[in-house]
Chain A
Amino acid sequence: MNDKQERTHIIIANSIAVFMVTFYSFVRSFYFIYIGQGDRVIFFFLASMITAVVMCVVCIVLKNAEALAFLVPSIIITGISIYAFIAGGTDNYFIILVGVISVSGVYFSIKYFLRFVLFVNVLVFTSLVIFRFPLEGYSTLMTALYIRWLLAGLCTLIVYLTVRHGVNRYSKANASMDSFLTMLETTPNIVAIVDEQNRVKYISKSLANFANIERAELVAYRPFLDLFNNPDMMDMMTSVLNNDLDSGDTAKAIIDGEERYYKVISVPLETAEKGRLIDITDVTPIMIARYQAESASTAKSDFLSKMSHEIRTPMNAIIGMTNIARNVDDPKRKEDALIKIDAASKHLLGLINDILDVSKIEADKFELYYHTFDFRKMIHNTINVISVHSEEKSQKLIINLDECLPQYIICDELKLTQVITNLISNAVKFTPEGGTVRFNATCGVTPNTLRIDISDNGIGISEEQQLRLFNAFEQADVSTTRKFGGTGLGLAISKRIVEMMGGQIWIESKLGVGTSSIFTFTFEEAEYEPALDEAEEILADTYPIRFRGTNILIAEDVDINREIIEAILDETEISIDFALNGLEVVSMFKESPDKYSLILMDIQMPEMDGFDATKAIRALDLEKAKTIPIVAMTANVFKEDIEKCLSVGMNDHLGKPVDINELIKVLKHYL
């Protein structure tokens, strides 16, 4: 029970008590009038009666009388009491006591005065009961006063206890409401309760924070829509209030330039006071995740669609040219078809490598392999390859290598070549016939940094398109794919490579004027010249290489792959036995362990795969089983695939499609 409630019921209790007492007095006054003694007391009783009635009506109607409603009658009672005393003589001291008590209440706080009055009532009542004031010898007035106090005390106690009981019950109900409001205070959701006129009754702390309201309690009874200055939020709340937004719907709003999504629940309140509860939950992370998932799914579909097209194009060339080569007799046409098949195959292989690179990037498995190489030679080799295409388009290819460029550096030669190839290819591709492509390599501003600048006077790229170029699967324009082909992967991969090399890559371009693709990268200084490439050494010394008299065992389940390897190694005169699965290779080796000098092991095979076959061979109780070289031959080229091959006991790894130089290198190394 709080102070306000206590004040209420004390006032009511006292009012009823006073009313009953003075009603008795009123009745008695008529008696005094009847017996001829009314003139001394009638004003007092009548006044008490009237003021008490007024006080009761005020208290009961307003349920919580203002101090004014209680104090004015007290003053009137006091005045009349004094009058009665002066008129009645010294035996009216008790009346004065009543008056003093009343007057003192004017200067007490209402809380203490009411309790004081209650205390006095109870005290007097108790005194009367305990001490049993004798009624004889006292004036009729005193007797009446004693009886009045008796009644007042008794009534006050009864009423007080009754009302308090009622108030306690009300407090319990309010306690539930208090608990509910406390729960709402702590919810992270934006919650508001509004009345029928959509004015605020309650808002949660979250809503106060959201609407930048310093003190939530100050917004009571304001129109709910006044809490929102953001136009999108106001529109959303208006839709909620107008029931245009179904409960549970999601709406979007731009807050501080950022898209935010909110789920709104609006529930009508079925209480005596009509209104509704509005709950707003920020579901932006969920919606963003959903859109990203949808976007990823769409991108995946687009990617598959693009890849399908890109893969089909060279496949069509391969299939078509193969048919031509088979059906024509003219050797020149056959040769031309084979050249085109070769070109299409390499293009297809490049495409697959790009896709694998993007997968590695997205899986965060893209790594650099640093080694020493001849930087200037690498550039020349790379440009030589591209120059074929630029010559076909009668383009001028201008190379400028700054003198400060080092000869030998430690970096990832393959990846660097990939970047340069990609950028120069783009320059050649998007420059019309007769145009100019410039390649410029200089030292960077900071130590151990180099800068490559590839510029052309081609079609150029707009600013808007430049923003999207380095995204995977993005090209400058949809029409670019149609006109120039490409998958939109090259720049994304190049960007990743350059960033991993500690550099930056960017485009400077103007539509219709030309484009400059610029990147920087860091390197380590090489202290020595690199050893000649082993393959180069081998090939330089001994190509064409012969392995007459040497037997190798090849585990390969796919017919065409067996045919390719046989064809590749035909010139080497090496003797080959084929096994069609892992079980066969183990059994064939077991039968003739000394026959074979090397095992080339495919991984994906029926019956038993290459890993299990290798483990089985290494587990054989034969000396040769421990020492025979086993080289994996597989399309799985990720680092962990290579590591797995080595971990099961293989000695080396060859990627598919098999490169003849790599194969020769392996044979040379192990045979």
Chain B
Amino acid sequence: MKHLVVVNPISFNKKAEMTAVIRDINAYFDRDDNKDIDYYIYISRYPRDAVSVIKKYIGKTKDTVRVYSVGGDGIMFDCLNGIVTFENAELAVIPYGISNDFVRAFGENAAHVFRDIEKQVKAETIPTDVINVGGKHSLNFCAVGVEAASVLKYYGICRKYPDIAKKIGKPLFVVGAPLALMDKKLVHQEYEVTIDGVNYNGRYCTINIANNPCYGGNKTPAPMAHPADGFLDIILAKSISRLRLLSVIYDYTKGKYYKYPGIFKYIRGTEVSIRSQSPLQINTDGESYYDARLDAKIIPSAVKIAAPDGLKYVRRRELL
């Protein structure tokens, strides 16, 4: 087996932290009993930089290649898209930084296990579903509407006022949500939604397509989602007044959407297509963007994810 370690420097607040992590990884592979292990550490330079590097690395060999994504969900996204077409590739997630929602699928306190390089190297893999969104692949979720717009507004503020964003940092993220809520058109946007051939057209403030129960740091809006069940868990939130929306948001983020059957609709499916007259505001595993259309499809057991210490995915709530 070969090992490719991909590091995202932006996931670390200080360069010293990243250096320390790389040093630990090097120290493990340079041990006497690991001298025969073929490994390579690559530091990503920009978004999607790692994708072609991974493809080239895996394409050169028939051996199994385990790719270690060191950083947040952003670099995990790149690594996933690098390995997804290869039968001989595996993904190991080593979470650093703020946004590490994927490992929460193994439980809330599992992150430290994933940071142990030795356990990751020795870990067995478990097949995991992947969401194909317009040719790109994601592990956690894909959101359309206010949820995605919050992130887009935050990024907009960061681009417009980079110095302020740098000084304030991630707490500035809270500005995004109110700004998104202020957009009345967005809250009442009309969508043409098709799930497995069935129409669910209507006005929604947010549409959540989940493969993983967790995202957004501490949110579990889709607790019944399971990354290896072969299904997408879709929550459609009907357009309501913004005041009412403010009152249900907290329960929604904690996975208690079922308390509001008139507002939230839960559907299990395998293919989702969304269209709208206005641009779609989309967030896929932390990657936020606009698009004119969205087609999402589950690919069951598309990748093999290293699960150290024999960890398994946790279904936080059984299907209701």
| A interface with B by C-beta (< 8 Å) | 197-199, 214-215, 218-226, 229, 231, 234-235, 238, 241-242
Contacts and interface: CB of A to CB of B under 8 A. Distances in A.
Given A218-B279, A221-B159, A226 B48 contact: yes
B289 A214 contact: no
Interface string B37-65: 00000000111110110010000000000
B222 to A, nearest CB: 25
B313 interface: no
B52 A198 contact: no
Given A215-B279, A215-B292, A238-B52, A221 B47 contact: no
A235 B292 contact: no
B292 A214 contact: yes
B46 to A, nearest CB: 4
Nearest to B179: A66
B44 to A, nearest CB: 11
A241 B289 contact: no
B159 A223 contact: no
Nearest to B136: A226
B16 to A, nearest CB: 22
Given A198-B47, A221-B155, 9 more contacts: A198-B49, A199-B47, A215-B279, A218-B290, A222-B289, A223-B47, A224-B48, A226-B47, A226-B48
Contacts of A229: 135
A293 B136 CA distance: 41
Nearest to B10: A197
A218 B49 contact: no
Contacts of B289: 218-219, 221-222, 226
A234 B51 contact: yes
B291 interface: yes
A234 B136 contact: no
Output the residue of B48, B155, B290 with the most chain A CB within 10 A: B48
A222 B155 CA distance: 11
B316 interface: no
Contacts of B55: 231, 235
Contacts of A241: 46, 49
Nearest to B152: A221
25 contacts: A197-B46, A197-B47, A198-B48, A198-B49, A215-B292, A218-B279, A218-B292, A219-B290, A220-B290, A221-B159, A223-B46, A223-B47, A223-B48, A225-B47, A225-B49, A225-B51, A226-B48, A226-B136, A226-B287, A226-B289, A234-B51, A234-B52, A235-B52, A235-B55, A238-B48
A273 to B, nearest CB: 10
B82 to A, nearest CB: 11
A199 B47 CA distance: 8
Nearest to B48: A225
A67 to B, nearest CB: 10
A271 to B, nearest CB: 15
A387 B293 CA distance: 73
B121 to A, nearest CB: 28
B180 to A, nearest CB: 14
B159 to A, nearest CB: 7
A444 to B, nearest CB: 52
Output the residue of B45, B47, B52, B287 with the most chain A CB within 10 A: B52
A37 to B, nearest CB: 43
A537 B116 CA distance: 105
Q: Which 3 residue pairs spanning A and B have beta carbons closest together?
A: A223-B47, A218-B290, A225-B48
Nearest to A239: B52
Nearest to B85: A231
A197 B45 CA distance: 8
A218 B291 contact: yes
Nearest to A68: B182
A198 B50 CA distance: 13
Interface string B5-49: 000000000000000000000000000000000000000011111
Contacts of A221: 155, 159, 289
B216 to A, nearest CB: 20
B134 to A, nearest CB: 8
Nearest to B279: A218
Contacts of A224: 48
Contacts of B293: 214
Contact of A198 (B46, B51, B136, B155): B46
Contacts of B136: 226
Contacts of B292: 214-215, 218
Interface in B258-284: 279
A242 B292 CA distance: 29
A467 B292 CA distance: 46
Contacts of A235: 52, 55
Output the residue of B135, B159, B289, B291 with the most chain A CB within 10 A: B289
B26 to A, nearest CB: 24
A222 B284 CA distance: 12
Contacts of B49: 198, 225, 238, 241-242
Contacts of B135: 229
Contacts of A218: 279, 289-292
Contacts of B291: 218
A581 to B, nearest CB: 73
B308 to A, nearest CB: 30
A218 B290 CA distance: 5
A231 B82 CA distance: 11
B290 to A, nearest CB: 4
A223 B46 CA distance: 8
Contacts of A231: 55
A226 B49 CA distance: 11
Contacts of A214: 292-293
B299 to A, nearest CB: 15
B51 to A, nearest CB: 7
B267 to A, nearest CB: 26
Interface in B109-136: 135-136
Contacts of A199: 47
Nearest to B281: A218
Nearest to B290: A218
Contacts of A215: 279, 290, 292
Contacts of B279: 215, 218
A127 B48 CA distance: 64
A198 B49 CA distance: 9
